[in-house]
Amino acid sequence: VRTWSPARAGRVNASHRACLVARFGFIYAQERLDAETLLRTFICDMETVQRIIYIAAVESFRAAKMAFWKLKISVKETLALDHVGPEPLEVAALDYIARHKDLYDVCQSIQEVVCSMNVNPKIPYPPEVDFFLIRTLIRELCCLAFSMQTLIPPLDIARGVDGELFNRTMYYRSCDSDFTAPFVAYHVWPALMENGAVIVKGEVVTKK
């Protein structure tokens, strides 16, 4: 029988967190570039390609967080029927979801992400490509974002705004940036956040 204690829960959370942060970095370094290569076969403009991938990341986190919120409500209602502890109900629900990731309908989230991208005003309409082309990237981001919600505290991404002042604590500049420009032209990859603090820097392009 597994016993519960705050110390043990903290160690498990820290280990799980480290794995998810590492996965976020791997997606940026590998699967993002794979998606970029796929899109470049249909879209010549690199800025458009990078904008599409950034929007896919933002929408994937949004869809996964909404799915997690709905599932957590359902799980808490079920567990509350016979929950006696020792861990709090909230912690028990997070632990249950973390151990039963198959409860997450990632295909539904992928569909929601693609639909959102199809009507996003920052992407030319009609789209030059079917966004299901990059469903592997979207799937990985959705699954990662969903798992990040089981952490205490959860991890999330920063939502950037075109034209915002460049923040060196939150972003790296892309190599094709104007390094003297103070404002962000567009975002390439989001920063990973925890309680308002930057865990992993994102990437932006700055231009005058």
Question: What are the structural domain ranges in the chain?
Answer: 7-154, 158-207
Tell me how crowded residue 40 is: count the other CB atoms within 10 A of its CB: 13
Task: Find how far residue 85's CA is from the centre of its chain.
Answer: 31
* This prediction's pTM: 0.90
Sign of the torsion angle spanned by Cα atoms 157, 163, 166, 172: positive
Quick: pLDDT tens for 72-128: 999 998 888 887 666 788 888 998 999 898 999 999 999 999 999 999 998 886 777
**b vs e for 100-132, b when ≥16 Cβ sit within 10 Å of the residue's Cβ?**
eeeebebeebbebbbebbeebeebeeebeeebe
